[in-house]
Amino acid sequence: MDYVALRKKMVEEHIIRRGITTKRLLDVLLKVERHKFVTQDLSDSAYSDFPVPIGEGQTISQPYMVALMTDLLNLKGEEKILEIGTGSGYQTAILADLGRVVYTIERMKNLGKNAFCLLDTLQYTNIKTKIGDGSLGWPEEAPFDRIIITAATARMPLPLTEQLKEGGRIIAPLGQDFSQILTLGEKTKGNIDYKQVCGCVFVPLVGKFGEKEK
């Protein structure tokens, strides 16, 4: 399988064609080997335009959604980023290549362990990891320049908005089940102004400040 060609096709057809043109981001999407973040039997689907199962009922997000959320974070290279929902670790790798340091939290022990181990193997040295309820944030390490939640919740978890730095950005799918809106917030003078971006579908954020476990 020619993965370099598949990544080029993914970036051209699913990312650039939909209007994302930030060069730093496109370069990273061309570099990160997405097929390594899914199980071997699904590696052919890794570059397709849909989420792929990663076990435990969870998914690696669609490439376009990863690109869109990252682009909206407007990373310049110096940011301290908090990611909630490590999943496969693919989004984490993209963030680590574009920001200064990434703090990532995954709720499911096995998924987290696999992703953290893979990121280690890929020699990322600017990623701090934790298993736990990300809806509580990471208060000991706050504040953060950017916060990204890759699971859906009815409202922005309060601890996370409190842990966002002045001038910082937070992004999350807000809503429930199949009706969610990707929402971007920016903190100015202690308040967060929210902008709705587009409809999306994510697995739920399960936790104290998220959804109840079903």
If the CB atoms of residues 44 and 166 are measured against ligand SAM, the closer one turns out to be 44
DSSP-assigned beta bridge partners for residue 170: 147, 185
Return the residue of 43, 129, 150, 161 that touches ligand SAM, per CB under 6 A: 150
Tally of helices (H runs) and strands (E runs) in the chain: 6, 9
Given a contact cutoff of 8 angstroms between Cβ atoms, the answer to whether 183 and 195 are in contact is yes
- Contacting ligand SAM within 1-40 (CB under 6 A): none
Of the candidate spans 15-23, 107-115, 119-127, 160-168, the one that interacts with ligand SAM by CB under 6 A turns out to be 107-115
Question: Nearest-CA neighbor of 69 among 173, 143, 145?
Answer: 173
Residue 143 Cβ vs ligand SAM, minimum distance, rounded to whole Å: 19
Residue 89 to residue 150: CA distance in whole angstroms: 11
Ramachandran region of residue 143, left (φ > 0), alpha (ψ -120 to 50) or beta? beta
Q: Is 61 a catalytic residue?
A: yes
If the CB atoms of residues 95 and 101 are measured against ligand SAM, the closer one turns out to be 95
Active site residues: 61
Per CB under 6 A, residues contacting ligand SAM are 58-61, 84-85, 87-88, 90-91, 105-108, 111, 133-135, 150-151, 202-203, 205-207, 210
